[in-house]
Amino acid sequence: MEETLEKILTAYRKDEGNIISILQDIQETFGYIPEDAVNWFSKKLDIPASRFFSIATFYAQFHLKQRGRNIITACCGTACHVKGSDRLISGLRKKINLPDGEDTTDDREFTIERVACVGTCSMAPVVIINKNVHGKTTADKLMKEIKKLKGKKSEA
């Protein structure tokens, strides 16, 4: 890890970057922001770790926990809620064995995120799977997509 962090630090110093660019580089490298990486930069740059964490928690783009290989973003805005998004999500959570209070499966295969309106209300309920938008989603359609993703894993 140290060698990777040194590379980010060198780029940061060369480009006179800021904390946000460090956090972006860390996340791009590891898929999330490990606490150890923040503490490492905090010591190297003599910047309190709390400054890194306050920025990381302010911006939704940063993730402090490891995420799954497949990101399922469920819209929970009003239109999607009315069209049954809650039922859809709880069914999905059961199907992928995601315990209450968790957003990523133990095998790190899936992460489910809930967001407010994604701006395509006429297609409610909307679920975004790995950046692909699925409108007028039903439990069956959703399960087919999940099966495809699980199939890709077993092919790999």
Least distance CB 135 / ligand FES (angstroms): 8
Tell me how many degrees the CA angle 13-67-9 measures, rounded to the nearest 5.
10
Least distance CB 119 / ligand FES (angstroms): 6
Tell me which of 8, 33, 77, 96 binds ligand FES, using CB under 6 A.
77
Residue of minimal CB distance from ligand FES? 77
Structural contact between residues 88 and 125, judged by C-beta atoms closer than 8 angstroms: yes
**Identity of the residue, 72 or 75, whose beta carbon is nearer to ligand FES in the bound complex:** 75
**Identity of the residue, 78 or 90, whose beta carbon is nearer to ligand FES in the bound complex:** 78
- List, as one string, the DSSP characters of 72-121: EEEE-SHHHHHTTHHHHHHHHHHHTT--TT-SB-TTS-EEEEEES--S-G
Instruction: For residue 125, give the nearest of 79, 91, 89 by alpha carbon.
Output: 79
Instruction: For residue 76, give the nearest of 87, 61, 86, 91 by alpha carbon.
Output: 86
Q: Which stretch binds ligand FES (CB under 6 A): 37-45, 72-80, 86-94, 146-154?
A: 72-80
Say which DSSP state 23 is in. Answer: H
**Identity of the residue, 114 or 150, whose beta carbon is nearer to ligand FES in the bound complex:** 114
133 binds ligand FES, rule: CB under 6 A: no
Q: Which stretch binds ligand FES (CB under 6 A): 49-57, 63-71, 78-86, 146-154?
A: 78-86
